[in-house]
Amino acid sequence: MPDVAADASAVARTTDAELTGAVRHGDLAAYGLLYKRHLGAARRAAGGLTATAAEREDLVAEAFVRLLRVLRAGGGPDDEFRAYLITTMRNVMISWRRRDGAVSVVAEVPEVERSTSPEAVVGDRLHAALAAEAFASLPERWRLVLWRTEIEEETPAAVAKSLGMTPNGVAALAYRAREGLRQAYLDQHVPAEVRDGCRGLVCELAGWVRGRFTSQKMRRVAAHVDGCPECQEIADGLRRLNEELPGIAR
């Protein structure tokens, strides 16, 4: 990809396929260019799918985050980036509407007796580091609502006043943010190196384990996992981690 600072006009001529290819090779700057190029279209599309400006921004943010995961895992679109992005937004919105009816405002964390053995201390630090990375990967609004509701223990009503939202809107946003954090945490445990034939699917294993997809997609992923020992091993590990996650019932 051309040097952005050196030749802005050359960057403007860079195709989406070239940029997505660069992202698959670890170039996050290329994804930043894709984000700027398609943000306006994404917001316009989200305006027809959402009821509020806040929900529109959340939808756009989650769609871009999901698409980044797909590309970094080796899958995703080439020239059809915008169409793929908008389809992702529609799928996200469908999943939100299905789940927003049952919102748990506060995720309960079970009391667990902590071990002070060296192995346990190292394990705790490793999990904390992965959780921090997962948290940092979330959209800013999600980080904000998680921090205020989970860490500072503010009520949705208190948060709503400062964000210009309703308490129910904050509760729904917090729900989506917690779910996003759980999936991001599981994503941290997916190996970066997998077989070529599995790259497009392995990035979806966290969402599959969490039951976030349509029935058709759940069956498609399950069929691949059943026939692929490598993905089955990854999925089994993610299932065990998922069972240990605190919070709302799956």
Q: Where do we find the tokens 């940092």?
A: 136
Give the pLDDT confidence of 181-237 residue by residue, as tens digits.
Answer: 888 888 777 776 666 677 777 778 888 888 888 888 899 999 999 988 888 888 888
In this prediction the pTM is: 0.50
Q: Name the CATH code of domain 191-245 (choices 2.160.20, 1.10.760, 1.10.10, 3.30.70).
A: 1.10.10
The answer to whether the CB of 129 falls within 8 A of the CB of 138 is no
Residues of the chain with CATH 1.10.1740.10: 7-99
Question: How many angstroms separate the Cα of 18 from the Cα of each of 24, 65, 153, 166?
Answer: 10, 19, 45, 42
143, with CB counted inside 10 A (0-12, 13-18, 19+), is middle
Model confidence pLDDT, tens digit, residues 46-104:
887 787 888 888 888 988 988 888 898 888 888 788 888 888 888 888 777 766 544 43
**Angle in degrees, CA 57, 59, 61, rounded to 5:** 70
CB-based contacts of 199, cutoff 8 Å, min separation 6: 73, 74, 75
Locate CATH 1.10.10.10 in the chain: 109-188
**CATH class assigned to 109-188:** mainly alpha
User: Which top CATH class is 7-99?
Assistant: mainly alpha
Distance (Å, whole) CA 94 – CA 116:
44
